[in-house]
Amino acid sequence: MRQGICLLDRALNIAHQEMAAIEAGEYDRAGELARQR
């Protein structure tokens, strides 16, 4: 279960970074982050 929580935390962190990239107009970076997620 701990591993699942860690994966969810990582996915949420990447999603936040992705949203920040979109808001900044960094669409290539957002796409890169989406592929990681």
Phi and psi torsions of 29, nearest 5°: -65, -40
The model's pTM is 0.81
The helix/strand count (H/E) of the chain reads as 2, 0
What confidence score (pLDDT) does residue 1 get? 85
pLDDT at site 25: 98
Q: Which residues contact residue 11 at a Cβ distance below 8 angstroms, ignoring those fewer than 6 apart?
A: 37
Sequence spans of domains, the chain: 2-36
Rounded CA gap, 26 and 23, in Å? 8
> Cα 13 from chain centroid?
5
1-37: pLDDT as tens digits = 899 999 999 999 999 999 999 999 999 999 999 999 8
Angstrom distance (rounded) from CA 3 to CA 32: 24
